[in-house]
Chain A
Amino acid sequence: MIDFPRWKYWLVGIAMVLGLLYAAPNAFPPQPAVQISPNRDARIDATLQQQVTADLAKAKIPYQSITIDKNRMLVRFANTEVQLQGSDTLRLALGDHYTVALNLATTVPHWLQAIGGRAMPLGLDLQGGVHFLMSVDQDAVLKKQQQRYLDDIRSILRQKQIPYDAVSQSGNGVLAVFKTSADRDKARGAISLDATDLNLADSRTPGGGYALTATIKPEVLQKLAQTAITQNVTTLRNRVNELGVSEPLIQQQGENRIVVELPGVQDTAEAKRVLGAVATLEYHAEDESVNPQEAARTGNVPPDDRLYYTKDGRPVVLKKRVIVSGDELVDASQGYDQQSGLPDVNVTLNSAGARKMLDFTTQNVGKRMGVVYIEQTPEVKMVDGKEIRTSKTTETVLNDAVVQGVFGKKFQTTGLSQQEAETLSLMLRSGSLAAPMQIVEERVIGPSLGQDNIRKGRDAVILGLALVLLAAAFYYRLFGLVADIALVFNLMILVAVMSAIGVTLTMPGIAGIVLTLGMAIDANVLICERIREELHNGSTPLASIRAGYEKAWSTILDANVTHLLAALGLITVGSGAIKGFGITLFIGVSTSLFTSVTMTHAITALIHGRRKKLKTLWV
Chain B
Amino acid sequence: MELFHHDLNINFLGMRKISIVISAILLAVSIWAIAVKGLNYGLDFTGGILIQVNYQQPVDVGDVRTALEKAGFRHAVVQSMGGTREISIRLQPPKQMGARKESPDKVAGDVSKSVLTALQAARPGVKLAQPPDFVGPEVGQELKTSGISAAIVVIIGIMIYLWVRFEKRFAFAAVASEFHDTIITLGIIALVQREFDMTVLAAVLAVIGYSINDKVVVFDRVRELFRLTRKAETAQILNRAINNTLSRTIITSVFTAITMASLYLFGGPAVHGFAITMLIGILVGTLSSIFFASPMLLWLGVSKKDLMPVTRENPELARRP
Chain A residues packing against B (C-beta within 8 Å): 125, 133, 135, 254, 257, 268, 272, 438-444, 446, 452-453, 456-457, 459-460, 463-465, 467-468, 471-472, 474-475, 477, 507-508, 510-511, 514-515, 517-519, 521-522, 525-526, 529, 532-533, 536, 551, 554-555, 558-563, 565-570, 572-578, 581-582, 585
Are B149 and A573 neighbours in the complex by a CB distance under 8 Å? yes
25 interchain pairs, CB-CB under 8 A: A125-B270, A135-B138, A439-B104, A440-B135, A442-B108, A444-B131, A457-B268, A464-B259, A464-B263, A471-B255, A472-B255, A507-B267, A508-B202, A510-B267, A511-B199, A525-B252, A532-B2, A533-B244, A536-B6, A562-B161, A562-B162, A565-B161, A572-B153, A573-B153, A581-B199
* B24 touches A (CB below 8 Å): no
Number of interface residues of B (CB under 8 A): 73
* B165 touches A (CB below 8 Å): yes
Q: A456-B268, A563-B209, A565-B158 are in contact. Are A514 and B136 (CB under 8 A)?
A: no
User: What is the CB-to-nearest-CB distance from A452 to chain B, in angstroms, rounded to a whole number?
Assistant: 7
Q: Could you say which of B59-67, B119-127, B212-220, B300-308 contacts chain A?
A: B212-220
User: What is the CB-to-nearest-CB distance from B277 to chain A, in angstroms, rounded to a whole number?
Assistant: 10
Beta-carbon contacts of B144-166 to A below 8 Å, as 1s and 0s?
00110111011001100110010
* B314 touches A (CB below 8 Å): no
Are A578 and B255 neighbours in the complex by a CB distance under 8 Å? no
Are B206 and A581 neighbours in the complex by a CB distance under 8 Å? yes
Q: Roughly how many angstroms separate A471 CA and B258 CA in the complex, as a whole number?
A: 9
User: What is the CB-to-nearest-CB distance from A32 to chain B, in angstroms, rounded to a whole number?
Assistant: 20
Are A441 and B139 neighbours in the complex by a CB distance under 8 Å? yes
Are A519 and B104 neighbours in the complex by a CB distance under 8 Å? no
Are B267 and A511 neighbours in the complex by a CB distance under 8 Å? yes
Q: Roughly how many angstroms separate A519 CA and B220 CA in the complex, as a whole number?
A: 18
Are A514 and B1 neighbours in the complex by a CB distance under 8 Å? no
What are the 9 closest A-B residue pairs judged by CB atoms, nearest first? A566-B209, A518-B256, A569-B154, A440-B136, A573-B150, A456-B268, A518-B259, A464-B259, A460-B267
User: What is the CB-to-nearest-CB distance from B9 to chain A, in angstroms, rounded to a whole number?
Assistant: 13
User: What is the CB-to-nearest-CB distance from B75 to chain A, in angstroms, rounded to a whole number?
Assistant: 21
Q: A468-B258, A472-B255 are in contact. Are A555 and B220 (CB under 8 A)?
A: yes
Q: Roughly how many angstroms separate A521 CA and B255 CA in the complex, as a whole number?
A: 8
Q: Roughly how many angstroms separate A54 CA and B113 CA in the complex, as a whole number?
A: 42
* B130 touches A (CB below 8 Å): yes
From the candidates A507, A511, A570, name the one contacting B154 in the complex (CB within 8 A): A570
Output the nearest chain B residue to A521 by Cβ-Cβ distance. B255
Q: A562-B162, A566-B206 are in contact. Are A463 and B2 (CB under 8 A)?
A: no
Are B130 and A566 neighbours in the complex by a CB distance under 8 Å? no
Are A563 and B1 neighbours in the complex by a CB distance under 8 Å? no
Are A464 and B198 neighbours in the complex by a CB distance under 8 Å? no
Are B266 and A459 neighbours in the complex by a CB distance under 8 Å? yes
* B254 touches A (CB below 8 Å): yes
From the candidates A474, A562, A568, A581, name the one contacting B1 in the complex (CB within 8 A): A474
Q: A519-B256, A558-B220 are in contact. Are A460 and B263 (CB under 8 A)?
A: yes
Are B220 and A518 neighbours in the complex by a CB distance under 8 Å? no
Are A558 and B165 neighbours in the complex by a CB distance under 8 Å? yes
Are A566 and B105 neighbours in the complex by a CB distance under 8 Å? no
Contacts of B213 in A (CB 8 A): 519, 522, 559-560, 562-563
User: What is the CB-to-nearest-CB distance from B149 to chain A, in angstroms, rounded to a whole number?
Assistant: 6
* B237 touches A (CB below 8 Å): no
Contacts of B162 in A (CB 8 A): 562
Contacts of B210 in A (CB 8 A): 519, 563
Beta-carbon contacts of B161-184 to A below 8 Å, as 1s and 0s?
110010000000000000000000
Q: Roughly how many angstroms separate A526 CA and B151 CA in the complex, as a whole number?
A: 27
Output the nearest chain A residue to B256 by Cβ-Cβ distance. A518
User: What is the CB-to-nearest-CB distance from A573 to chain B, in angstroms, rounded to a whole number?
Assistant: 4
User: What is the CB-to-nearest-CB distance from A134 to chain B, in angstroms, rounded to a whole number?
Assistant: 10
Q: A439-B105, A510-B271, A536-B6 are in contact. Are A521 and B252 (CB under 8 A)?
A: yes
Are A514 and B247 neighbours in the complex by a CB distance under 8 Å? no
Contacts of B139 in A (CB 8 A): 133, 257, 440-441
Q: A459-B266, A566-B209 are in contact. Are A578 and B258 (CB under 8 A)?
A: no
Contacts of A471 in B (CB 8 A): 254-255, 258
Q: Roughly how many angstroms separate A558 CA and B163 CA in the complex, as a whole number?
A: 12
User: What is the CB-to-nearest-CB distance from A118 to chain B, in angstroms, rounded to a whole number?
Assistant: 25
Contacts of A562 in B (CB 8 A): 158, 161-162, 209, 212-213, 216
Output the nearest chain A residue to B153 by Cβ-Cβ distance. A569
Contacts of B271 in A (CB 8 A): 457, 460, 507-508, 510-511
Q: A438-B104, A460-B263 are in contact. Are A515 and B256 (CB under 8 A)?
A: yes
Q: Roughly how many angstroms separate A254 CA and B7 CA in the complex, as a whole number?
A: 55
Are A438 and B199 neighbours in the complex by a CB distance under 8 Å? no
Are A567 and B199 neighbours in the complex by a CB distance under 8 Å? no
From the candidates B103, B131, B143, name the one contacting A268 in the complex (CB within 8 A): B131
Q: Roughly how many angstroms separate A507 CA and B198 CA in the complex, as a whole number?
A: 12
Are A467 and B259 neighbours in the complex by a CB distance under 8 Å? yes
Contacts of B245 in A (CB 8 A): 529
User: What is the CB-to-nearest-CB distance from A284 to chain B, in angstroms, rounded to a whole number?
Assistant: 33
Are B252 and A574 neighbours in the complex by a CB distance under 8 Å? no
Contacts of B133 in A (CB 8 A): 442-444
* B10 touches A (CB below 8 Å): no
Are A526 and B150 neighbours in the complex by a CB distance under 8 Å? no
Are A566 and B212 neighbours in the complex by a CB distance under 8 Å? yes
* B33 touches A (CB below 8 Å): no
Output the nearest chain A residue to B130 by Cβ-Cβ distance. A444
* B87 touches A (CB below 8 Å): no
Are B259 and A514 neighbours in the complex by a CB distance under 8 Å? yes
Output the nearest chain A residue to B133 by Cβ-Cβ distance. A443
* B134 touches A (CB below 8 Å): yes
Are B266 and A456 neighbours in the complex by a CB distance under 8 Å? yes
Contacts of B103 in A (CB 8 A): 438-439
* B251 touches A (CB below 8 Å): yes
Q: A442-B108, A566-B209 are in contact. Are A515 and B154 (CB under 8 A)?
A: no
Q: Roughly how many angstroms separate A477 CA and B2 CA in the complex, as a whole number?
A: 11
Are A441 and B135 neighbours in the complex by a CB distance under 8 Å? yes
Q: Roughly how many angstroms separate A164 CA and B227 CA in the complex, as a whole number?
A: 82
Q: Roughly how many angstroms separate A563 CA and B132 CA in the complex, as a whole number?
A: 38
Contacts of A525 in B (CB 8 A): 248, 251-252, 255
Output the nearest chain B residue to A577 by Cβ-Cβ distance. B198
Are A508 and B198 neighbours in the complex by a CB distance under 8 Å? yes
Beta-carbon contacts of B232-244 to A below 8 Å, as 1s and 0s?
0000000000001
* B96 touches A (CB below 8 Å): no
Q: A562-B216, A577-B199 are in contact. Are A507 and B270 (CB under 8 A)?
A: yes
Q: Roughly how many angstroms separate A278 CA and B231 CA in the complex, as a whole number?
A: 79
Q: A526-B248, A529-B248 are in contact. Are A559 and B258 (CB under 8 A)?
A: no
Q: A563-B209, A570-B202, A573-B153 are in contact. Are A453 and B255 (CB under 8 A)?
A: no
Output the nearest chain A residue to B218 by Cβ-Cβ distance. A555
Q: Roughly how many angstroms separate A293 CA and B238 CA in the complex, as a whole number?
A: 94
Are A570 and B150 neighbours in the complex by a CB distance under 8 Å? yes
Contacts of B151 in A (CB 8 A): 569
From the candidates B1, B136, B212, name the one contacting A475 in the complex (CB within 8 A): B1
Are B263 and A511 neighbours in the complex by a CB distance under 8 Å? yes
Contacts of B132 in A (CB 8 A): 442
* B260 touches A (CB below 8 Å): yes
User: What is the CB-to-nearest-CB distance from A619 to chain B, in angstroms, rounded to a whole number?
Assistant: 10
Output the nearest chain A residue to B212 by Cβ-Cβ distance. A562
* B278 touches A (CB below 8 Å): yes
Q: Roughly how many angstroms separate A308 CA and B108 CA in the complex, as a whole number?
A: 39
Q: A570-B154, A570-B202 are in contact. Are A578 and B260 (CB under 8 A)?
A: no
Contacts of B150 in A (CB 8 A): 569-570, 573-574, 578
